[in-house]
Amino acid sequence: MTHMHVAGEIHAEAASPAPVWLTRPEDVNALTMKLWSSTTRRGEDGAIEVGGVRLTELAAQVGTPVYVLDEDDFRARARAWKQAFEGWTVYYAGKAFLSGTIAKWVAEEGLYLDVASLGELTVALRAGFDPARIGHHGNNKSVEELRISLTRGVGRIIVDSSDEISRLEELCAELGVKAKVMVRVTTGVEAHTHEYIATAHEDQKFGFSIASGQALVGMFRCHHSPYLELMGIHSHIGSQIFDTHGFEVAARRTLKLFAQFKEATGQEMPQLDLGGGFGIAYTKEDDPSTPENLAAGLREIVAHECRAFGLTQPEISLEPGRAIVGTAGMAVYRVGTVKPVDIGGGLTRRYLSVDGGMSDNIRPALYAAEYSAALANRNSAADPVVSRVVGVHCEGGDILVRDEFLPADVGVGDLLAVPASGAYSRSMANNYNHTPRPPVVAVRDGLITTVLRRESLDDVLALDAGLENEA
């Protein structure tokens, strides 16, 4: 995985025209469908369509940049996960992207919902999501958000530290309630992903360590507390994971805790959550698994480990987020400048600057995430050339798509679409350089529906006390 130079990626990168995995396409207009939502296609005039809506018409109507969600694709993926894991409980991980509309889609498709902040919890509750079907995450939950979870009847709270257990006990005593909790554990599994999104190794902020014995201590404390009902263990090994190998080790280590708990107390805990982190295709080289294959592998792993430890199989839950919303979304930009840059050795890199940037997708700058792109408003007969799609921000690392073959005639005014932008783009968006965040629209059967409206400069500046009296 790429590790950034401390002074920025531009100082770490050797001059090269493209990464070795990026191959020249035979047809620069062809769409690699594993990257795009299921209703995406090119129309007869070459313009990309999604949900029966041409991106040229959508851009003319709502402007750019814009995030576009394929509603049918989102719903189909939610159903596929629910069906593949029938008998298990599937929580949609709201941190990938959550809004009132998404919460309603999740409820309508019969999934549960995982939230990781006061804001996400508030969105879910205001959208009318059943609190009993909500799981509440977070490594430093405030008294305010825990109070809301307890008073509204949230189905489970995943405790992450001894301090949180104390905080929760005090609130339960004050409110006269008992909280259903799961203990998040650190399994020590090194997920094959970027260090910033690997969450089960020992040296990081999440969970109680199994290796140090903290996990078992936390479990016993919850079990003996008069204010808490210990439901089980929660484990999460990281994000953008394509197979079940890491889950096998995590299941073995967590179920060993189940066995130790049973031996010490004579009771079996009823629930195990294996977390999420299931990957999607961002580039042609990515090869994610299907919910069906993942289900088969995980079922076998859990059954085997339960037999080995002499346990009754607990109720299993998991938390796909990106795997449902990621490919269902795309981002659409308009090209503003085209600049050939000499990078030495007789090589030239073409920079395409668009009207968005790291404010609407910080992942490439944050942990060198790779994306793809396609010319969206027309076909092209020009040769494919390696291009870099960059944003408008005052940062050398403001890169949206590091390397992609795009037609040589892409020019000012053309539209570019970046697939697989549904997860962690809008949810991690920011106002760097005082830039308003783009809108999110849903498309279905030729109709466009606003999910989140476009921010205006007035929205961005509304909190600036120094401008309150300025027109």
Report, as residue numbers or ranges, the catalytic residues.
394
Residue pair 87/295 in contact (Cβ under 8 Å)? The answer is no
Q: Angle 456-338-425 (CA atoms, 0-180°, nearest 5)?
A: 40
How far apart CA 229 and CA 178 sit, in angstroms, is 7
> Alpha carbon of 232 to those of 187, 269, 318, 411, 415: distances in Å?
15, 5, 13, 56, 49
Q: In sequence order, what are the beta bridge partners of 407?
A: 384
How far apart CA 75 and CA 200 sit, in angstroms, is 30
- Residue 46 is which amino acid? G
Q: How many CB atoms lie within 10 A of CB 68?
A: 29
Which has the closest alpha carbon to 134: 188, 180, 88?
180
Conformational region of residue 284, where left means phi above 0, alpha means psi within -120 to 50, and beta covers everything else: alpha
Which has the closest alpha carbon to 319: 44, 43, 115?
115
Q: Angle 29-329-206 (CA atoms, 0-180°, nearest 5)?
A: 130
